[in-house]
């Protein structure tokens, strides 16, 4: 993730090309950046065809009215094997924008195997000056129901302290993860689906309110008094909704 998470898939592609070169094999790669797979279809030849869309319609925060107008094109066919890398794409129904449109029989197997999931929200924040905190990571006690005693922050990590990030960051950056209880309250108040069955995008305005709350919660939990918090300058903040983050403890799963 150094330099942005887009470096990860690019690194996988580069590794494949390097492996092919070392083994004197051909490596014919087709890359579809900023593209969301929305449907998998198996043909009579027992091979897979992928369909999807790119650009603005592929983003989580695009209005549903705009996303519905997107033209879904073919991303290639004749695939012997398709690797799906996350629970959301393989278990959510087609209403959810993260769904890869896998056959329902496959989605049912995934849902049965992974069971219930715990949603989380994360906030990314950059501070103008280093915080008066002598830790690289902080965790806050959460009970079995995902509740914390006095904060909606579960844990936080300073990006600057991660391998590869020690140099080059202009500001002190932190990632803050909320408690499961906070996420459950937020998704109940602002669900991912309307009563009519439409996907609810992660609007930037809404996610900014989540980020602001989590950053403030983190600063308080980290021990900064009110006077200290008044002197903290935030130069960037953002948040994301992690709808299928973790499995619950076994005794709470349903």
The per-residue b/e assignment along 214-247, b for 16 or more CB within 10 angstroms, e otherwise, is bbbbbbbbbebeeeeeeebeeeebebbbbbbbee
CB within 8 Å of 3: residues ≥ 6 apart: none
Stretch among 111-115, 125-129, 133-137, 157-161 having the lowest mean pLDDT? 111-115
pLDDT, residue 169, reads: 81
- Mean pLDDT, range 132-156, rounded to an integer: 78
Which two structure tokens, joined as six digits, stand for 222?
Answer: 């980290």
Give 60: exposed, middle or buried? Use CB within 10 Å, 0-12, 13-18, 19+.
Answer: middle
Measured over the CA atoms of residue 12, residue 17, residue 18 and residue 23, the dihedral's sign is positive
Question: What's the pLDDT tens digit per position in 3-30?
Answer: 777 788 888 888 988 988 898 887 777 7
d(CA 121, CA 190): 13
Contact predicate 116/245, CB 8 Å: no
Model's pTM, two decimal places?
0.77
Mean of per-residue pLDDT scores for the chain: 84
Which two structure tokens, joined as six digits, stand for 182?
Answer: 């906070």
């Amino acid at each position: 993730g150094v330099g942005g998470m887009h470096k990860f898939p690019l690194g996988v592609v580069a590794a494949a090309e390097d492996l092919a070169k070392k083994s004197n094999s051909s490596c014919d790669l087709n890359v579809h950046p900023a593209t969301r797979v929305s449907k998998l279809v198996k043909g009579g030849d027992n091979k897979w065809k992928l369909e999807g869309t790119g650009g603005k319609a592929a983003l989580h925060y695009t209005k549903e009215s705009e996303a519905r107008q997107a033209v879904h094109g073919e991303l290639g066919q004749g695939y012997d094997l398709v690797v799906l890398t996350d629970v959301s794409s393989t278990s959510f129904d087609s209403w959810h924008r993260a769904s890869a449109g896998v056959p329902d029989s496959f989605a049912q197997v995934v849902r049965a195997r992974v069971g219930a999931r715990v949603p989380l929200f994360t906030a990314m924040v950059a501070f103008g000056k280093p915080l008066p905190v002598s830790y690289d990571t902080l965790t806050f006690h959460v009970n079995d129901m995902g509740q914390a005693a006095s904060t909606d922050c579960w844990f936080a990590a300073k990006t600057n302290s991660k391998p590869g990030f020690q140099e080059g960051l202009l500001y002190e950056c932190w990632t803050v993860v909320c408690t499961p209880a906070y996420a459950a309250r937020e998704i109940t108040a602002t669900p991912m689906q309307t009563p009519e069955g439409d996907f609810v995008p992660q609007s930037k305005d809404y996610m900014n309110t989540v980020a602001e709350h989590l950053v403030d919660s983190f600063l308080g939990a980290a021990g900064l008094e009110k006077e200290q918090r008044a002197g903290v300058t935030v130069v960037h903040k953002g948040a994301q909704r992690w709808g299928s983050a973790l499995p619950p403890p076994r005794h709470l799963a349903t």
